[in-house]
Structure 1
Amino acid sequence: MHFHHADLFEGLADAIGDRTAVVCGDDRATYAELDAAANRLAHHLAGHVAPGEHVGIHLYNGLEYVTALLAILKIRAVPVNVNYRYVAAELRYLYDDSDIVALFYAAEFDDRVAAARTDRLRHLIAVGDSAIADAVPYGEAITGSADRDFGPRDGQDVYIIYTGGTTGLPKGVLWTHEDLFMAFGGGNPYGPPHTTPEGVIEQARTAGPLTMMAAAPLMHGAAQMGTFIAFWMGATMVYVPRFEADAVLRAIGREKVVSITITGDAMAVPLADALETGDHDVSSLFVLSSTGAILTGAVRDRLQALLPNVMIMDSFGSTESGYTASAVAGSSPEAGLKYQPNPNATMAVLDGALRPVAPGEMGVVAKTGRIAHGYYKDPAKTAETFVTDADGVKWLLTGDIARVEEDGTIRVYGRGSQCINTGGEKVFPEEVEAVLKGHPGVFDAVVTGLPDDRWGHRVAAVVEPRTKDLTDADLDAHCRERLSGYKVPRQYAFVDELVRSPSGKADYRWAREQFA
């Protein structure tokens, strides 16, 4: 057995096969049932896909997504997560860039799949009644042998997670299975890392019953990794097909969910709204963890008031780094994001020469050790992001600008690539966004920089208001009480609905287009 996600899951199916592994709506499967279904699907897939080839998953959350993911891993192929919100042109880029040769897709995406299909994409498996002539129905593909007669695997096999980020085209982040396992908790995020795969199985076997939930779509790396972390703990993972706050809260009550993972304000705000207006039983909930996007202090405080008995955690990390740090008490974009590095994460703040900065100095957040090893088909971006210092240590430069505090914590100001230089002063959008979202009349906001003849750039905000009577003057007064003058937005655009990525990240290109 290796630190390979398929090896580990098969070990769990043998050790705790009768436990429920996944739930989505009325559908549920035990570890043994999920393993058997993945074996059948893997045998079909092996007739069309060779080890090392790439297979896309273009589905909503559901048992089919998890089964397809495991099937791909079982035959040592490489899964590629596909954003279901992409239009045909975006899909064409992703299908081509990722070199997928096979695709699982929902039939409702027929038109987009047909329009985006590349010559390399030779095999389709459709969930639902698809009109694409050569697509194999999912139900037919999963009728083969349930035997587990696959060849040996290796912890150095490749796992790819595509990430859209806030700017630029999607990038395929390259991991080995072993590094991915270790970086994303390894089932033991706060204790010593596992030394053997068998130890993971034993930990799950002896663990008590636990029900967890990933509110984000499985096409997002955080939800995939959250699923595997639940498995390594021998837990049940609960999903909803698509994020909808009332559906999430109903699932928490129905399945007695103890821990839920969300992605920042984009999910926290609708959940808070639903808690205020609905009658939901969330008495089982003990932990709410946010990762992958900003959770502002005002939103967190609102959730905490609605969930007084729930521990709210805010984690710092990325698709390239894995879990890295946890926010300390009082941390928020308004007051300054302050994190305590995970004791298992080799994390530093580096200067331009890749040397650790002294307390009080600014630098770039970096991580070494168990990290991704590059971007698929992008050697230039790989060389820019994954660097080696004078001592031969390989670092991942996250792009986040931070300062080291005297107590060893780090204060993160924001992504350097989005920093707005206005008259020589630096403004980090996250801080201004957090202040705006603290106004009771604001539902959501994204801040960006616009060209300015005098200042180089000026601060501008796209705002989705809660009320129609919200004005620029209201927001200006609110911001001037809480921000230095140069940080206050000079221009606003009010929109009916603010566009974010499905993972909750701000779309800064879209924001700038609103002003154009």
Structure 2
Amino acid sequence: MNLSSQLHETAKARANKPAYYFMGGSSSYAELDGAITKFASGLEKLGVRQGDHIGLLLGNSPHFIISLYGALRVGATVIPINPIYTADEIGYILNNGDVKVVVALDIAVPLAEKMHSFLPQVEYFVICETGQFEMDRISVNPKMKSFTNLVASGDLSFNGPELQNDDVALILYTSGTTGKPKGAMLTHKNLYSNAKDVGDYLKINDQDRVITALPMFHVFCLTVALNAPLMNGATMLIVPKFSPKEIFGLGIEYKPTVFAGVPTMYNFLFQYPEGKPEDLQTLRLCISGGASMPVALLKNFEKKFNVVVSEGYGLSEASPVTCFNPLDRPRKPGSIGTSILHVENKIVNEVGVEVPVGEVGELIVRGPNVMKGYYKMPEESSATIREEWLYTGDLAKVDADGYFYIVDRKKDLILVGGYNVYPREVEEVLYNHPDVIEVAVLGVPDPNQGEAVKSYVVSKNPELTVEYLFEYCKEHLAKYKIPSSIEFLKELPKNTTGKILRRALKELVTEPVNK
């Protein structure tokens, strides 16, 4: 079984059930499955064959779902790309990923016209009409095809090739915090197993209405808020772009039962002055991932909206989920939960030996969700996957009950005079201050200690001072963990999933404020 065939089976069993609502419109499972089949057939008529690579330059929309599942149904490998990337960033992924066909919104036509001359391997750009661009321009370009026409030309009786579990279904390019992004190759087995295990773990069913507000091109959304709901016959409430106003509006109109987001989204929802708890009263489950959620935010959100937030953990290389806080046992604030079904997590030292309970080490993962490797990067693949274990690069610990806790990214560890300082520990202290909205902590060079702790703070109180926060930190942190400097910002830089960008903050580093 794979995602495409599973959706086909779901459509046969729940033909008239709404698969999604989007901007006032909707589609049944039968209609969605038919569009996917016809798109797959249209791709085959364009010359797409099993194993070819299809790039998706799309935001949250039905176009994305039809393109993703249609490409999988014809046996192609899909490469989702953030549509707001620069031409250079997009060009690198398209070239490195050997993309043959690109599916993009009509607003990307000028970009496609600009790029096609240095993308010789791209044979076609399939343009999705949204009414934001004059489509006459594509009719004179033989490399550009209409999405609508492609679907219309497809054959409902199309049967794609037989897909193998080990065939690469998706290549997800990581954010590339160091050097160029790497393409994680995820197989049909990887994606199907993780979507099924996550759906089972979270008890997603055909009565659920799932808010799909995370970017679909990101693996967190793909598995938790797209594949798992479609696999289980749930209804997706597709949000083109996250906004608190939109989420609360959906709460009133569609009575959602599941919301998945990153901590920043929860912070925006919590701080939104017009958001009423009763607007989200039908939510049975909130899921947080992508970054560690501050315990203070988690508790405040749960208290205000009377809903449990289940924090989990994952990474692109693991399709992505490895842990979730269980629904049938106590949820531990600050923990990413326990291993999901069929996935093993453990903590090891520098030589790969498992460490005792409570001791910090590197989190490694094994299971059917672990990637095949990095595309065209055998050395990186061998360094990351050793004896079937995926080395995540995250520092973590596990308690006696099997609950895991992310301490920090291995590369974000701060060494102050030989002492380890984990940014999250300092961030948790600052998040507990009632005037603090957002915090990011990182290490900066220090001539005496090697590194020093620097904090960036967003405050809702204009009267809050650096000096006051220094005194506050002194009450709650050991001396070597106290920030050497604190800087107030209006907002913290974030990527499209809402994750705080530490590397962007490092470019803002200024002279420290002495304590």
TM-score normalised per structure 1: 0.89
- Which of 174, 189, 192 is residue 178 of structure 1 equivalent to? 189
Check the 8 A contact 2:3/2:191 in 1, yes or no: no
Measured at CA, do residues 296 and 112 of structure 1 come closer, stay the same or move farther in structure 2, by a change above 3 Å? Answer: farther
| Aligned-partner Cα distance in 2 for 1:280–1:92 | 46
- Could you say which residue in structure 2 is the equivalent of 1:86? 85
Measured at CA, do residues 406 and 283 of structure 1 come closer, stay the same or move farther in structure 2, by a change above 3 Å? Answer: closer
| Aligned-partner Cα distance in 1 for 2:459–2:87 | 31
- Could you say which residue in structure 2 is the equivalent of 1:147? 157
- Which of 461, 467, 473 is residue 467 of structure 2 equivalent to? 473
- Could you say which residue in structure 2 is the equivalent of 1:196? none
Shift of 1:341: 2.8
- Could you say which residue in structure 1 is the equivalent of 2:121? 120
- Could you say which residue in structure 1 is the equivalent of 2:144? 135
Measured at CA, do residues 338 and 140 of structure 1 come closer, stay the same or move farther in structure 2, by a change above 3 Å? Answer: closer
| Aligned-partner Cα distance in 1 for 2:487–2:109 | 35
What is the 5 A alignment of 1:161-240?
A: 161-164=172-175, 166-186=177-197, 188-190=199-201, 208-226=206-224, 227-240=226-239
Identity %: 25
| Aligned-partner Cα distance in 2 for 1:501–1:383 | 29
Measured at CA, do residues 68 and 498 of structure 1 come closer, stay the same or move farther in structure 2, by a change above 3 Å? Answer: same
Shift of 1:189: 3.4
- Could you say which residue in structure 2 is the equivalent of 1:331? 333
Check the 8 A contact 2:185/2:372 in 1, yes or no: yes
Shift of 1:256: 1.4
- Could you say which residue in structure 1 is the equivalent of 2:455? 461
Measured at CA, do residues 493 and 299 of structure 1 come closer, stay the same or move farther in structure 2, by a change above 3 Å? Answer: same
SS of the aligned residue for 1:142 comes to: helix
| Aligned-partner Cα distance in 1 for 2:89–2:228 | 30
Measured at CA, do residues 279 and 314 of structure 1 come closer, stay the same or move farther in structure 2, by a change above 3 Å? Answer: closer
Deviations 1:34-61 (A, max 9, x none): 0111122112211232211111111121
Check the 8 A contact 1:363/1:401 in 2, yes or no: yes
Shift of 1:33: 0.3
Check the 8 A contact 1:28/1:63 in 2, yes or no: no
Deviations 1:464-514 (A, max 9, x none): 333444332232223222222222221233333321111232312211101
Check the 8 A contact 1:57/1:104 in 2, yes or no: yes
Question: Structure 1: 5+ residue runs without aligned partners?
Answer: 192-202, 389-393
Check the 8 A contact 2:209/2:256 in 1, yes or no: yes
Q: Which amino acid aligns with 1:455?
A: Q
Q: Which amino acid aligns with 1:261?
A: A
SS of the aligned residue for 2:102 comes to: strand
- Could you say which residue in structure 2 is the equivalent of 1:483? 477
Shift of 1:100: 1.4
Aligned residues: 490
SS of the aligned residue for 1:186 comes to: helix
Deviations 1:287-321 (A, max 9, x none): 1111222211111122112211x121101222222
| Aligned-partner Cα distance in 2 for 1:409–1:259 | 23
Question: Structure 2: 5+ residue runs without aligned partners?
Answer: 511-515
RMSD: 2.3
Shift of 1:330: 4.3
Check the 8 A contact 1:276/1:306 in 2, yes or no: no
Q: Pick which of 310-319 and 126-135 moved more.
A: 126-135
User: Is the counterpart of residue 512 in structure 1 residue 503 in structure 2?
Assistant: no
SS of the aligned residue for 2:152 comes to: coil
Q: Which amino acid aligns with 2:52?
A: E
Measured at CA, do residues 480 and 381 of structure 1 come closer, stay the same or move farther in structure 2, by a change above 3 Å? Answer: farther
Shift of 1:261: 0.8
| Aligned-partner Cα distance in 2 for 1:247–1:409 | 34
- Could you say which residue in structure 2 is the equivalent of 1:412? 406
Shift of 1:138: 2.0
SS of the aligned residue for 1:23 comes to: strand
Q: Which amino acid aligns with 2:6?
A: L
- Which of 269, 288, 310 is residue 313 of structure 1 equivalent to? 310
SS of the aligned residue for 1:92 comes to: helix
Q: Which amino acid aligns with 2:308?
A: M
Check the 8 A contact 1:23/1:29 in 2, yes or no: yes
| Aligned-partner Cα distance in 2 for 1:317–1:115 | 36
Measured at CA, do residues 104 and 364 of structure 1 come closer, stay the same or move farther in structure 2, by a change above 3 Å? Answer: same
Measured at CA, do residues 437 and 169 of structure 1 come closer, stay the same or move farther in structure 2, by a change above 3 Å? Answer: farther
| Aligned-partner Cα distance in 1 for 2:474–2:273 | 31
Check the 8 A contact 1:476/1:488 in 2, yes or no: yes
Check the 8 A contact 2:277/2:304 in 1, yes or no: no
- Could you say which residue in structure 2 is the equivalent of 1:391? none
Q: Pick which of 72-81 and 411-420 moved more.
A: 411-420
Check the 8 A contact 2:57/2:80 in 1, yes or no: yes
Check the 8 A contact 2:289/2:313 in 1, yes or no: yes
What is the 5 A alignment of 1:378-457?
A: 378-388=377-387, 394-457=388-451
| Aligned-partner Cα distance in 2 for 1:427–1:358 | 20
